[in-house]
Amino acid sequence: MIYCLSGKLLKKTLDMVVISCAGVGYQMLVPTSVASALPAIGQEATLFTEMHVTENDVTLFGFASEEQKACFKMLTSVSGVGPKVGIAILNVLTPEKITLAISAGDHKAFTAASGVGPKLAQRITLELKDKVGKGLAEGIGFGDVSGGAVAAGNMTQAIAALTSLGYSPSEAAQAVSKADDSMSVEEIIKVALRSMAKG
């Protein structure tokens, strides 16, 4: 298993990059956010990887963070979600937004991804709700739920704080989703409490 690759960036397109490591060029399929965040061709880059092996093919997928990789692994654990659909979801939603959508039961958020219809979107939220909800209640992020050691983001910390006040993870996630993810934890909690008071 290849955990990550570090080396010179040889090529990058919207959905694929090639990194040279010890004289070997590794081609990886990546979410569009990864390719755009990478340095210029010829510069050093590191990507976290996930290998997918089928009868006829071996494909390497690359991710900018351990959290993004863990999110991909969790999504592809859902029956009917293959690697291409997992990448398509990560093209339109960040791991934090995926966590919030699952917690809030917002299956419609997933239908924005290519190849995800209403039935598959509902299956994703149903199959992952318990895993993600348990993680949010304990104040850990998506990456932590699936085994990575990734620090919780501000949204996740705010949800954990709200669940400690007695709100359910799904109530907290719905309220927090109304806040801007660039806010501090305290600001997110204030926005969420205001929205719950109105509701």
More confident residue, 125 or 163: 125
Q: What are the backbone angles phi and psi of residue 24, rounded to the nearest 5°?
A: -115, 130
For residue 85, what are the CA distances in angstroms to 60, 98, 144? 15, 14, 22
Q: In this structure, are 45 and 83 located in the same domain?
A: no
Q: In this structure, are 102 and 33 located in the same domain?
A: no
Winning range, highest mean pLDDT, from 14-23, 103-112, 141-150 = 14-23
Q: In this structure, are 39 and 51 located in the same domain?
A: yes
pLDDT at 136: 55
Q: In this structure, are 104 and 179 located in the same domain?
A: yes
Instruction: Tell me which residue range forms the domain holding 122.
Output: 66-198
pLDDT band (50, 70, 90) for residue 197: confident
Gap between the Cα atoms of 12 and 16, Å rounded: 6
Q: In this structure, are 130 and 189 located in the same domain?
A: yes
Mean pLDDT of 82-103: 90
pLDDT band (50, 70, 90) for residue 199: low
Is the pLDDT reported for residue 93 higher than 70? yes
Least confident of 40-54, 91-105, 113-127: 91-105
Q: In this structure, are 151 and 166 located in the same domain?
A: yes
Q: Are 169 and 133 in contact (CB under 8 A)?
A: yes
Q: In this structure, are 42 and 89 located in the same domain?
A: no
Mean pLDDT of 50-69: 92
What is the SS3 assignment for 29?
A: strand
Task: Give the end of a domain, one of 63, 94, 113.
Answer: 63
Gap between the Cα atoms of 95 and 2, Å rounded: 21
Mean pLDDT of 165-173: 78
Give the number of domains in the chain: 2
Gap between the Cα atoms of 31 and 124, Å rounded: 19
Task: Give the end of a domain, one of 63, 81, 98.
Answer: 63
Q: What are the backbone angles phi and psi of residue 67, rounded to the nearest 5°?
A: -65, -45
Q: In this structure, are 105 and 39 located in the same domain?
A: no
pLDDT at 61: 96
Q: In this structure, are 41 and 75 located in the same domain?
A: no
pLDDT at 144: 46
Name the percent of the chain lying above pLDDT 90. Answer: 46
CATH number of the domain to which 114 belongs: 1.10.150.20
Gap between the Cα atoms of 148 and 157, Å rounded: 17
Helix (H) or strand (E) holding 166: none
pLDDT band (50, 70, 90) for residue 63: very high
Q: In this structure, are 89 and 46 located in the same domain?
A: no
- Per-residue b/e over 150-162, b at no fewer than 16 CB within 10 Å? bebbbbbbbbbbb
pLDDT at 91: 94
Q: In this structure, are 119 and 180 located in the same domain?
A: yes
Is the pLDDT reported for residue 90 higher than 90? yes
Q: In this structure, are 26 and 48 located in the same domain?
A: yes
pLDDT band (50, 70, 90) for residue 133: low
For residue 145, what are the CA distances in angstroms to 94, 110, 138, 191? 16, 20, 10, 26
pLDDT at 167: 81
Max Cα distance, the chain (Å): 60
